[in-house]
């Protein structure tokens, strides 16, 4: 398969902060890759280097076959980018924002393209509404329409569904999969584990370093975590008691239950042994992506600390 993104050894610093460290990543065409990691880990900086908005301090590679340093302008023309915050004009209508985007890209058939984008994303009945009056979910649809109006080959999404309700998130992801089916490659940063599981593959970056890569199943398997699910009264207190015990690497309450994980099975079983009796009930379960990522975050060193 042909790689839409193929970069090696990317580095970027701001002052004395080394934000991206020797990062290499390859994403095949028509794939949706989830880009995960804690806040401040260099995800946004990486996205901006990939689409030509920032120049790496060092490193090399290509996006869409173009050199990320020497041919950044060619990459920009063929890439759609949705920023974390809504960045269109709130005092323009939906249609006016899209018409402006079409002019920036010098597109032909501007009216036809705008009408088609409005229809595809369910915005046609709102075309005359000011962007500033839209809810978060509708702003998200407008931003996606703007980012894909010029029919890019690569779409970079920076936490696009933050603060959006579950139905709007699901509708958004249905649209992303439809676009990928039409040939678009997508790299999307997210903090939602259910969204990560909808990606073809995921990459986990922690404070500038890529530390996990593969499908969701491969990343979970590669963590070597053992996880026990416990149910019983006052699981909040139980979680507090287990926190920091030898063998316990992560512990988190989930409603009336608690997930306890670690990579040393013997030490983990010894830690929960005092509570493996009524009224508590325990069973071993498959670790979730959230279990894995909490473990990865615990191992990472915050480069801003």
Which of 178, 196, 220 lies at the terminal end of a domain, its last residue?
Answer: 220
Residue 90 maps to a domain: yes
Mean pLDDT for 39-49 is 92
Mean pLDDT for 44-54 is 94
Do 41 and 168 reside in the same domain of the chain? Answer: yes
State the CATH number of the domain containing residue 37.
Answer: 3.40.50.300
Cβ neighbors of 200 (< 8 A, separation 6 or more) are 31, 32, 33, 215
Do 210 and 241 reside in the same domain of the chain? Answer: no
Q: Is the pLDDT of residue 18 over 60?
A: yes
Which of 171, 203, 220 lies at the terminal end of a domain, its last residue?
Answer: 220
Residue 131 maps to a domain: yes
pLDDT in the model for residue 305:
55
pLDDT in the model for residue 1:
66
CB distance 202 to 216 below 8 Å:
yes
Q: Which residues pair with 251 in a beta bridge?
A: 260
Mean pLDDT for 169-194 is 93
Do 109 and 246 reside in the same domain of the chain? Answer: no
Do 166 and 85 reside in the same domain of the chain? Answer: yes
Residue 292 maps to a domain: no
Do 183 and 95 reside in the same domain of the chain? Answer: yes
Mean pLDDT for 123-128 is 91
Q: Which residues pair with 271 in a beta bridge?
A: none
Q: Is the pLDDT of residue 53 over 60?
A: yes
Phi, psi of 179 (to 5 degrees): -65, -40
Q: Is the pLDDT of residue 276 over 90?
A: yes
Do 124 and 179 reside in the same domain of the chain? Answer: yes
Q: Is the pLDDT of residue 304 over 70?
A: no
For strands 201-206 and 32-36, give the pairing.
parallel
Rounded percentage of the chain residues whose pLDDT exceeds 70:
97
CB distance 163 to 191 below 8 Å:
no
pLDDT in the model for residue 85:
87
Do 140 and 272 reside in the same domain of the chain? Answer: no
Mean pLDDT for 129-135 is 93
Residue 157 maps to a domain: yes
Q: How confident is the model at residue 168 (pLDDT cuts 50, 70, 90)?
A: confident
Phi, psi of 54 (to 5 degrees): -130, 145
Which of 202, 220, 238 lies at the terminal end of a domain, its last residue?
Answer: 220
Q: Which of 101-105, 106-110, 295-299 is least confident?
A: 295-299
Give pLDDT tens digits for 212-258: 999 999 999 999 999 999 999 888 899 999 999 999 999 988 888 99
CA 277 distance to own-chain centroid: 40
Do 216 and 172 reside in the same domain of the chain? Answer: yes
Do 36 and 157 reside in the same domain of the chain? Answer: yes
pLDDT in the model for residue 4:
97
pLDDT in the model for residue 271:
96
End-to-end CA distance of the chain: 40
Which structure tokens are listed for 293?
């990522």
pLDDT in the model for residue 301:
63
Mean pLDDT for 136-143 is 90
Q: How confident is the model at residue 177 (pLDDT cuts 50, 70, 90)?
A: very high
Mean pLDDT for 156-184 is 91
pLDDT in the model for residue 38:
87
Do 33 and 179 reside in the same domain of the chain? Answer: yes
User: Where do the H-state alpha helices sit in 28-107?
Assistant: 43-50, 72-77, 94-104
pLDDT in the model for residue 84:
86
Residue 162 maps to a domain: yes
Do 176 and 107 reside in the same domain of the chain? Answer: yes
Residue 23 maps to a domain: no
SS3 at position 77: helix
CB distance 27 to 62 below 8 Å:
no
State the CATH number of the domain containing residue 269.
Answer: 3.30.70.330
Q: What number of CA atoms fall less than 13 Å from residue 241's CA on the CB side?
A: 11
pLDDT in the model for residue 136:
87
Q: How confident is the model at residue 300 (pLDDT cuts 50, 70, 90)?
A: low
Do 128 and 184 reside in the same domain of the chain? Answer: yes
pLDDT in the model for residue 7:
97
Q: Is the pLDDT of residue 69 over 70?
A: yes
Report how many domains make up the chain: 2
Give pLDDT tens digits for 215-228: 999 999 999 999 99
CA distance 300 to 97: 41
Residue 130 maps to a domain: yes
Tell me if the pTM is above 0.85.
yes
Residue 294 maps to a domain: no
Helix axis angle, 110-120 relative to 136-148, nearest 10°? 140
Instruction: For residue 39, give its domain range.
Output: 28-50+72-220
Rounded percentage of the chain residues whose pLDDT exceeds 90:
77
């Amino acid at each position: 398969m042909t790689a839409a993104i193929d970069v090696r050894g990317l580095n970027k610093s701001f002052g004395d902060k080394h934000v991206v460290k020797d990062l290499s990543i390859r994403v095949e065409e028509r794939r949706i890759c989830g880009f995960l990691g804690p806040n401040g880990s260099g995800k946004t900086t990486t996205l901006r280097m990939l689409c030509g908005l920032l120049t790496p301090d060092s490193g090399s590679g290509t996006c869409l076959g173009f050199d990320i340093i020497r041919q950044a302008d060619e990459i920009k023309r063929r890439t759609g980018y949705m920023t974390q915050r809504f960045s269109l004009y709130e005092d323009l209508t939906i249609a006016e924002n899209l018409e402006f985007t079409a002019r920036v890209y010098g597109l032909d058939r501007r009216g036809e393209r705008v009408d088609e984008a409005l229809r595809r994303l369910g915005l046609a009945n709102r075309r005359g509404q000011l962007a500033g009056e839209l809810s978060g979910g509708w702003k998200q649809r407008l931003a996606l329409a703007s980012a894909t109006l010029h029919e890019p080959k690569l779409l970079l999404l920076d936490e696009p569904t933050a603060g959006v309700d579950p139905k709007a998130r699901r509708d958004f992801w249905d649209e992303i999969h439809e676009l990928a089916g039409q040939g678009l490659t997508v790299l999307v940063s997210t903090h939602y584990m259910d969204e990560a599981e909808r990606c073809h593959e995921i990459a986990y970056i922690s404070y500038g370093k890529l530390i996990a890569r593969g499908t969701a199943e491969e990343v979970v398997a590669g963590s070597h975590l053992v996880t026990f699910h416990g149910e019983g009264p006052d699981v909040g207190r139980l979680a507090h008691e287990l926190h920091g015990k030898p063998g316990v690497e992560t512990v988190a309450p989930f409603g009336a239950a608690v997930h306890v994980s670690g990579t040393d099975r013997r030490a983990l079983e010894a830690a929960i042994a005092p509570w493996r009796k009524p009224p508590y009930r325990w069973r071993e379960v498959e670790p979730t992506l959230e279990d894995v990522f909490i473990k990865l975050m615990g191992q990472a060193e915050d480069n801003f600390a």
